Amino acid sequence: MVDSSLEVKNYGILASGQGSNALSLIVKGLEFGRPPQFVILNRDNSPLIEKAENLGIKTYFLESTLKGEDLDFEARVLNLCQVHQVDWLFLAGFLKILSGPFIDHFNNVGFSQILNIHPSLLPKYPGLGGYKKAYKNNDPEFGHTIHLVTKGIDEGPILLQKVIPTNSNWSLEDMVAVGKKIENNSYALVLETLLKNGLSWDGKQAQLTWVIDVK
C-alpha cells in the first residue's frame, strides 16, 4: 500500500474562462506570501489576464482551441513547469482534456498533483454543464467537487465536496452566481490547507489531514 505525503512548493494555475476561481487562488496565495508561479490561459479573451498581471502574477497565453487532447499545448505547459519548477497544478475553469502521459508527469509519489474544481456533486454530472443539469432536473441540492485529476474524466479522489440547497425561486443564472461564489471560497480553502499541511495519501484516498468546514 502506498503511504506518502507531499508538500506543495511551487504551483501553477491553468484556466480557460472568466477566471474567478483562478483569481481566488491567486489572492489566497498572495495572502500567504506563496502566490502561484504562473497562470496559463488557453483563450485570450479572459479578463483574468489583466487581473492576474495587475497582481504581479506571470501570465502566459498558450492558444489551444483543439477539442480533446492537445499534445503540443501540453508540451508547452510542461516546458513552463520546468522553467518555473512547478510540480503542482490547479485547474480553475480549465476546459481541456489532459492526456494520460501529461497527468502521469504530475504523479511523483503515488498520487496526482493536479487538482480540479468541478461544478457538480460528483459522481453526478461529470463533463460539461453541471449547473445547467442540476437546474433542469430541479435537484433539491447542487454544489461542487474539488478532486485530484486522474485519467478518468472527473473521477479522481475527492478532497472536498460542498452541497448547497437549491432555492426554488432561483433562475439558472442565480444558481450559477451563488454556486461560483462558494466555489471560489472552497478552492481558496483547499489551497490554504495544502500550503499549510501538504497532502497525504494512503493508497486509496487522499487525506487532507484536517476537517474542512466550508461556510
Interacting residues toward ligand GAR by CB under 6 A: 15, 17-22, 92-93, 95, 117-119, 144, 180, 183
Quote the cell numbers at residue 167: 432555492
Distance of closest approach, residue 202 Cβ to ligand GAR, in angstroms = 27
Distance of closest approach, residue 119 Cβ to ligand GAR, in angstroms = 4
Choice between 8 and 13, CB closer to ligand GAR: 13
Choice between 100 and 203, CB closer to ligand GAR: 100
Choice between 3 and 53, CB closer to ligand GAR: 53
Number of Cβ atoms within 10 Å of the Cβ of 3: 11
Distance of closest approach, residue 68 Cβ to ligand GAR, in angstroms = 14
Choice between 9 and 136, CB closer to ligand GAR: 136
Distance of closest approach, residue 173 Cβ to ligand GAR, in angstroms = 13
CB 4 within 8 A of CB 111: yes
With b for 16 or more beta-carbon neighbours within 10 A and e for fewer, the 158-173 pattern comes to bbbbbebebeeeeeee
Query: Prior bond to 123 cis, omega within 30?
Result: yes
Distance of closest approach, residue 90 Cβ to ligand GAR, in angstroms = 11
Report the alpha-carbon distance of residue 23 to residue 171 in Å, rounded. 25
Choice between 86 and 92, CB closer to ligand GAR: 92
> DSSP for 12-50?
EEEE-SS-HHHHHHHHHHHHTT---SEEEES-TT-THHH
